[in-house]
Amino acid sequence: MQMPAPDQAVLARREELVRGFRAIVPGEGVIADEDGMRPYECDALSAYRQLPMVVVLPETVQQIAEILKLCQRLGAKVVPRGGGTSLSGGSLPLADGVLLAMGKFNRVLEIDYANRCARVQPGVTNLAISKAVEHEGFYYAPDPSSQIACSIGGNVAENSGGVHCLKYGLTTNNLLGIEMVLMSGEIVKLGGKHLDSDGYDLLGVLTGSEGLLGVITEVTVRLLKKPPVARAMLLGFDTEEAAGECVAAIIANGIIPAGLEMMDRDAVHAAEAFCHAGYPLNVAALLIAELDGPQAEVDHLIAALERLARDRGASVVRVSTSEAERLAFWAGRKAAFPAVGRLSPDYFCMDGTIPRGRLPEVLTRIRELSKHHGLRVVNVFHAGDGNLHPLILFDANQPDELHRAEELGADILKLCVEVGGVLTGEHGVGVEKRDLMGTMFNEIDLNQQMRLKCAFDPDHLLNPGKVFPTLHRCAELGRLHVSGGRLPFPDLPRF
Amino acid sequence: MTILQPRDAKQVTEAVAWALDSGTPLEIVGGGSKRGLGQPTTAEHQLDLSQLRGITLYEPEELVLTANPGTPLAEVEAVLAQRRQMLAFEPPALSLIYGDGTPTLGGIIACNLAGPRRLSSGAARDHLLGFHATTGRAERIKSGGRVMKNVTGYDLSKLMAGSYGTLAVLDEITVKVLPAPEKTRTVLLLGLDEAQGVAALCKGMGQPVDVSGAAHLPADVAARSAVDYVRNAGTSVTALRLEGPGPSVEDRCRHLRLAFKAQSEELHSVNSTTLWRELREVALLPRDPALAIWKLSVPPTAAPAVVGRIRGHSPGVATFYDWSGGLVFLALPAGTDAAHAVVRGALQEEGGHATLLRAPDAVRQAVFAFHPQPPALAALTARVKDAFDPKGILNPGRMG
């Protein structure tokens, strides 16, 4: 994985930038020494590390506007960073870039229960929003597994999901508004406490834009009332096909569970050994389904799911009878990554999405690829929405294993695209999947996405080196190649 | 006027290429049922997508449907209904406002229209999974896909939804579909004034009962309903809809009625369906073509005060509230300018936007249909337009 070569002209102006930032952000808000910058050298994709040129921790929107203006004037790149939990290297620093750390934007500004929304600063963690409103029985629905640490600003940038997004949607479906600062220093508000825009849906565009379009400085999220009852089920099957068919049958029967997860045999064994969740070990695939809502609905749906599962040959059907048991059912799934971490010094977590019906075929081919590259793969899967998380086990200290793991990961993601799926369901492209964008998009598609980028950031200063495999200058992208004498289409019906 | 009627995606691209080469702006039309929505375009020639129709993929167990943009909405809904599924955003046809024409899937997406269930299930934009389209640069692009969860590249689907054909011409649309509810009931509260009505809606939304529609109808509007209970109420009607599996709906209905402690009524399936269709189609406002109709999106609790301010200037306002108060429809005498300064001024404080849905032609020429944007946002919007359609050949003027 190559990052763009550092711009020597910008590096030469480092002192000037640092002085400029110190004039904007008083006190300890500018970190320029190596030891102080070390904690920022990577995010949760820790295989890639890079010290930034300088770290700035602004405290006000006005400061951010001034910082970005200064960077724009001096041609310095900017990498925004929230909780630093990106799994795709979204906040990986650049050697010639300013790391804009949003940690001081950590206040909940307003909670409005009547309008069911909360206005928060971007550094507030995902879980802190739900914690702030739980005493009134409300919560914020998207729940990425990093929710203790990940920031809501980062969630917006990455359009984060979680195990409940089949029923409750991703970040993009749970936002009402944002405030952002453009590279030019302009402050733009999108949305608010009302629904939808009657101009272009730029809020929708910003969500999942991976920090390439604007720096998010405020977020208004929708709050939901907590369902009174939630129960989980374990459904074990002798074949992965049967488990896949059961998932299809559940949805075809009009049931959208709050969560619907699948683990393969290796994942079940690893999780059980790690946290003793009580998982059955003699199954080829285990489904964890969660039903939530009023008691009557949950009872009704559990009975329906039990019937559907038994009809598809489930060898194990267990329903949680207490909150403790429900949490235990989930504990294994939630611990799947650390559990796998015990099996292997390092692992990569892939994130492709596939049409659900192709699951058995994809699992078979992943196994073939695993054999081919000589590395183990363990599969956990958001079965309801087709989002696969194959975990590739490797040891970075063995010569060549990191490289082979990268290759295997690329092969798995290409397979996802080949069967009609996509490279990333919730972790983002970042640097990790950047060079694979060409398997899903052609040059015309990518150039158009880059033109959108140009409308926000014409000098490519905001988080460059992420998402796009190659950068073209905006002036070049804007050029129109009109053929001039082209004849109008002979076949087209005209009236 | 030339009408270009492509029969496949390649011909769409060819048509746009010709328009680009020859500098001929095009009006993009599906079934022609929403031409009255937004600003009138200045294009003299039409790109008619009505022949680009048909459902090309429908996999109920994967919750996904792909169709060409000219596919009639009614056809999509009928096919989904056979498998007990639906477009959960409850798209309105709005034919009572705009008259004839065939609402199409492409038109609904391009206008990002959604009905009462927008409150709980999202708008059209939330259900658009992916698309193919030809930009104003005469290049065919794709974005998104057919899977539920996808963050690969910018989410251009959001940008297409609600861009009124000003950025690119859609030729293939993939949407998320959802199971249709087994059962529907509506709890009615009678006799609340507008402030009390919206407060009751917000209280209902704050109950753990999954309300999927929340509307308040002042007495004069309720009196136009085809549902006996509503028409004959003789007073205002506040309505909360519950949908889902049978036992669940009954249980939630009980819970909700208990929460209000007040006298309440209950509508069952057929009457519920009728009432929410009337609300979705804005069928209960007076039909007089001399009236201007506004659609306001505001913070729900601010709605009664916003309407109060408008009524202060224009006493003859007819109105109702949907989306728990967050969506307000207003009919008022169009005059020469649809009272736009009053309407838009009224929501200055709490935020939101006001769209002029319908007005006599002369008024539409004089008043901007969409809410004016602050300078930085307006400039950004113009740059986005330029990124997709640098020569302004797609629906020029439609969004200003």
A449: in domain: yes
Same domain, A221 and A233: no
Tell me, what's the pLDDT at A336?
86
Same domain, A361 and A383: yes
Closest in B151, B351, B381 to A428, CB measured: B151
Rounded to an integer, what distance in angstroms lies between the CA atom of residue A401 and that of residue B376? 49
A81: in domain: yes
Cβ atoms of B197 and B321 closer than 8 Å: yes
CB contacts, 8 Å: B399 with chain A: 199-200
Tell me, what's the pLDDT at B98?
92
Q: Which domains does chain B have, with CATH numbers?
A: 3-179 (3.30.465.10), 183-280 (3.30.70.2190), 291-366 (3.30.70)
A304: in domain: yes
Tell me, what's the pLDDT at A485?
43
Give the rounded distance of the alpha carbon of B300 from its chain centre.
17
A494: in domain: no
User: From its phi and psi, is residue A177 left (phi > 0), alpha (psi between -120 and 50) or beta?
Assistant: beta
CATH of the domain at A240: 3.30.70.2190
Closest in B159, B163, B380 to A188, CB measured: B380
Residue range A187-207, pLDDT digits in tens: 999 999 999 988 999 999 999
A495: in domain: no
Rounded to an integer, what distance in angstroms lies between the CA atom of residue B165 and that of residue A69? 34
In chain B, whose CA is at the least distance from the CA of A481? B137
CB atoms within 10 A of CB B270: 10
Same domain, A402 and A459: no
CB contact under 8 A, A440 and B84: no
Mean pLDDT of chain A: 94
Eight-class DSSP state of A83: S
Closest in B2, B139, B251 to A294, CB measured: B251
CB contact under 8 A, A207 and B155: yes
CB contact under 8 A, B149 and A199: no
CB contacts, 8 Å: A356 with chain B: 61-62
Tell me, what's the pLDDT at A3?
87
Tokens 């599969």, residue? A379
Q: What sections of chain B are H helices per DSSP?
A: 9-22, 73-82, 95-98, 105-110, 118-121, 124-127, 156-160, 194-205, 219-222, 228-231, 246-260, 269-280, 303-313, 340-346, 361-366, 375-388
CB contact under 8 A, B148 and A159: no
Q: Is A408 helix (H, G, I), strand (E, B) or coil?
A: helix
B287 against A493, higher pLDDT: B287
CB contact under 8 A, B207 and A225: yes
Same domain, A212 and A255: no
Structural domain containing residue A171: 108-225
Q: Is A12 helix (H, G, I), strand (E, B) or coil?
A: coil
Q: How far is A293 from chain B (nearest CA, A)?
A: 8
CATH of the domain at A212: 3.30.465.10
Eight-class DSSP state of A139: E
Rounded to an integer, what distance in angstroms lies between the CA atom of residue A251 and that of residue A25? 53
Same domain, A221 and A236: no
Nearest Cα to Cα of residue B398 among B144, B43, B155: B43
CA dihedral A172, A177, A178, A182 (to 10 degrees): 90
Residue range A330-340, pLDDT digits in tens: 999 988 888 88
Q: How many domains does chain A have?
A: 5
- The gap between the terminal CA atoms of chain B, to the nearest Å, is 22
Rounded to an integer, what distance in angstroms lies between the CA atom of residue B227 and that of residue B277? 11
Size of interface A-B (CB pairs under 8 A): 320
CB contacts, 8 Å: A489 with chain B: 11, 14-15, 17-18
CATH of the domain at A30: 3.30.43.10
Tell me, what's the pLDDT at A125?
97
Same domain, A301 and A240: yes
Domain boundary (A41, A66, A101) is at A101
A488: in domain: no
A493: in domain: no
In chain B, whose CA is at the least distance from the CA of A495? B3
Residue range A213-263, pLDDT digits in tens: 999 999 999 999 999 999 999 999 999 999 999 999 999 999 999 999 999
Cβ atoms of A53 and A97 closer than 8 Å: yes
Tell me, what's the pLDDT at A495?
65
Cβ atoms of A444 and B143 closer than 8 Å: no
Nearest Cα to Cα of residue B299 among B348, B352, B262, B263: B352
Residue range A304-319, pLDDT digits in tens: 999 999 999 999 999 9
Rounded to an integer, what distance in angstroms lies between the CA atom of residue A438 and that of residue A435? 7
CATH of the domain at A383: 3.30.70.2740
Tell me, what's the pLDDT at A491?
60
CB contacts, 8 Å: B250 with chain A: 296
CB contact under 8 A, A115 and B300: yes
Rounded to an integer, what distance in angstroms lies between the CA atom of residue B81 and that of residue B58? 12
Q: How far is A399 from chain B (nearest CA, A)?
A: 31
In chain A, whose CA is at the least distance from the CA of B303? A194
Rounded to an integer, what distance in angstroms lies between the CA atom of residue A175 and that of residue A204? 9
Q: Please report, for residues B120, B299, B350, the alpha-carbon distance to residue B199 in angstroms, rounded to integers and kept in the order given.
A: 18, 12, 16
CB contact under 8 A, A480 and B20: yes
CA dihedral A416, A417, A418, A421 (to 10 degrees): 70
Top residue of A110, A194, A474 to mutate, by most chain B CBs within 10 Å, is A194
CB contact under 8 A, B206 and A454: no
CB contacts, 8 Å: B92 with chain A: none
Rounded to an integer, what distance in angstroms lies between the CA atom of residue A246 and that of residue A239? 11
Q: Where are the beta strands (DSSP E) in A52-174?
A: 54-56, 77-81, 97-101, 108-112, 117-120, 138-139
Q: Give residues with Cβ within 8 angstroms of A19, minimum separation 6.
A: none
- The gap between the terminal CA atoms of chain A, to the nearest Å, is 54
Same domain, A331 and A373: no
Top residue of B84, B148, B355 to mutate, by most chain A CBs within 10 Å, is B148
Residue range B39-88, pLDDT digits in tens: 989 998 999 999 999 999 999 999 999 999 999 999 999 999 999 999 99
Give the pLDDT band (50/70/90) at residue A480: confident
Residue A290 has pLDDT above 50, yes or no: yes
Rounded to an integer, what distance in angstroms lies between the CA atom of residue A72 and that of residue A129? 33
A93: in domain: yes
Residue A135 has pLDDT above 70, yes or no: yes
CB contacts, 8 Å: A137 with chain B: 208
Residue range B229-284, pLDDT digits in tens: 999 999 999 999 999 999 999 999 999 999 998 788 999 999 999 999 999 999 99
Eight-class DSSP state of A482: -
CB contact under 8 A, A424 and B250: no
Q: What average pLDDT does range B27-44 have in this prediction?
A: 93
Rounded to an integer, what distance in angstroms lies between the CA atom of residue B246 and that of residue A296? 9
Same domain, A113 and A220: yes
Domain boundary (A281, A306, A337) is at A337
Q: Please report, for residues A133, B65, B360, the alpha-carbon distance to residue A223 in angstroms, rounded to integers and kept in the order given.
A: 8, 29, 40
Same domain, A214 and A119: yes
Residue range A34-50, pLDDT digits in tens: 999 999 999 999 889 99
CB contacts, 8 Å: A300 with chain B: 245-248
Rounded to an integer, what distance in angstroms lies between the CA atom of residue B177 and that of residue B80? 8
CB contact under 8 A, B152 and A252: no
Give CA angle at A227 (A173, A384), nearest 5°: 55
Cβ atoms of B145 and B130 closer than 8 Å: yes
Cβ atoms of B393 and B19 closer than 8 Å: yes
Q: Give residues with Cβ within 8 angstroms of A494, minimum separation 6.
A: B2, B3, B4, B5
Q: How far is B70 from chain A (nearest CA, A)?
A: 16
Tell me, what's the pLDDT at A488?
53
Q: Is A231 helix (H, G, I), strand (E, B) or coil?
A: strand
Give the pLDDT band (50/70/90) at residue A2: confident
Q: Please report, for residues A37, A84, A98, the alpha-carbon distance to residue A41 in angstroms, rounded to integers and kept in the order given.
A: 7, 10, 12
Same domain, A112 and A92: no
Q: Which two tokens stand for residue A196?
A: 């939808």
Q: Please report, for residues A380, B96, B189, B300, B303, the alpha-carbon distance to residue B194 in angstroms, rounded to integers and kept in the order given.
A: 51, 25, 12, 12, 9
CB contacts, 8 Å: A204 with chain B: 125, 155, 157-159, 161
Q: What average pLDDT does range A55-70 have in this prediction?
A: 98
Hey, CA dihedral for B67, B128, A466, A397, is it positive or negative? negative
CB contacts, 8 Å: B157 with chain A: 204
Q: Please report, for residues A231, A482, A495, B93, the alpha-carbon distance to residue B391 in angstroms, rounded to integers and kept in the order given.
A: 56, 11, 24, 31
Q: Is A244 helix (H, G, I), strand (E, B) or coil?
A: helix
Percent of residues, chain A, with pLDDT higher than 70 = 97
Same domain, A202 and A286: no
Q: How far is A77 from chain B (nearest CA, A)?
A: 20
Residue range B171-210, pLDDT digits in tens: 999 999 999 999 999 999 999 999 999 999 999 999 999 9
ipTM for the complex shown:
0.97
CB atoms within 10 A of CB A493: 13
Give CA angle at B76 (B75, B80), nearest 5°: 115
Nearest Cα to Cα of residue B386 among A441, A190, A181, A454: A454
CB contact under 8 A, B386 and A194: no
CB contact under 8 A, A355 and B62: yes
Q: Which two tokens stand for residue B319?
A: 């109105």
Rounded to an integer, what distance in angstroms lies between the CA atom of residue A221 and that of residue A238? 42
Q: Which two tokens stand for residue A481?
A: 């190649």
Backbone angles phi, psi at B65, to 5 degrees: -140, 135
Q: Are strands B3-4 and B45-48 parallel, antiparallel or unpaired?
A: parallel
Q: Where are the beta strands (DSSP E) in A344-424?
A: 346-349, 377-382, 387-394
Tell me, what's the pLDDT at B350?
92
Residue A426 has pLDDT above 70, yes or no: yes
Same domain, A122 and A216: yes
Tell me, what's the pLDDT at A335?
85
Residue A493 has pLDDT above 80, yes or no: no
Give the pLDDT band (50/70/90) at residue A177: very high
Tell me, what's the pLDDT at A490?
53
